[in-house]
Amino acid sequence: MIDLYTWSTPNGRKVSIMLEEVGLPYEVHPIDITADDQFKPDFLKISPNNKIPAIIDRDHGYALFESGAILIYLAEKTGKLMPSEQLARMDVMQWLMFQMGGVGPMFGQTHHFHRFAKEKVPYAINRYVSETKRLYGVMDKRLGEKAYLASDDYTIADVATWPWVSRFEWHALDDGLMGFPNVKRWYEEIAARPGVQRGYDVPARGQEIPKA
């Protein structure tokens, strides 16, 4: 059994989707980041950087934070969504790092400055929206070569990246995903997966996956 500490954000959805995809039983502990639950002492014992998601594996009481590390851990625990051959594994790891170092931080800044910032800062909006569009272009090129980001197989690299793309409506794209047809194809295929549909709405709030 996995204890999952999470909220309905792209990073949180990575892990709930992963747990659904690999079939591990889990118990959800909502951490309402709008109410500053992430700063409570009990949660900081699990996630010292006060970020969701985090897990505790009851099999041996091991606590883990950082979404990318959690995905690797769950893949290795179950032997799913991560190849065992070294070079194929590194293909997955580099596209996972692409999400962790590029898609997540840059899309997140676009969310903040384009959608939520009380003060509109044109330089920041242009900087992050431009970089977000560039990253979509990188993904679109790759997905014109492979069915999924790391290979022709669905892996944790896709699990990590898809929840960020699911907020494409927030990204000030000129024509939504229509401008990135390979990303659109990939997005729709993953959105149709039952595990993704179940994992998207965790903690349960009646949220539907956006249509591309």
Please answer whether residues 202 and 13 qualify as being in contact, where contact means their C-beta atoms are separated by less than 8 angstroms: yes
Q: What is the mean pLDDT of residues 37-57?
A: 96
The CATH number of residue 53's host domain is 3.40.30.10
* Same-domain pairing of 61 and 108: no
* Same-domain pairing of 99 and 167: yes
* Same-domain pairing of 96 and 76: no
Q: What is the mean pLDDT of residues 32-41?
A: 94
* Same-domain pairing of 100 and 129: yes
Cis status, amide bond into 203, omega within 30 of 0: yes
| 157 falls within a domain | yes
What confidence category does residue 152 fall into, taking pLDDT thresholds of 50, 70 and 90? very high
* Same-domain pairing of 56 and 94: no
Range of the domain at 16: 2-81
Give the tens place of pLDDT for each residue, 153-208: 999 999 999 999 999 999 999 999 999 999 999 999 999 999 999 999 999 888 88
pLDDT score at 169: 94
| 126 falls within a domain | yes
| 203 falls within a domain | no
Q: Write down the pTM of the prediction.
A: 0.95
* Same-domain pairing of 118 and 74: no
| 209 falls within a domain | no
- Checking 107-114 for CB contacts under 8 A at 24+ apart, the result is 107/10, 107/132, 107/135, 107/164, 107/167, 107/171, 110/170, 110/171, 110/172, 111/167, 111/170, 114/170, 114/171, 114/172
* Same-domain pairing of 101 and 171: yes
Q: What is the mean pLDDT of residues 28-54?
A: 95
Across 97-106, 107-116, 129-138, least confident range:
107-116
pLDDT score at 5: 98
pLDDT score at 52: 97
For residue 115, pLDDT beyond 90: no
pLDDT score at 205: 87
| 141 falls within a domain | yes
* Same-domain pairing of 39 and 55: yes
* Same-domain pairing of 45 and 75: yes
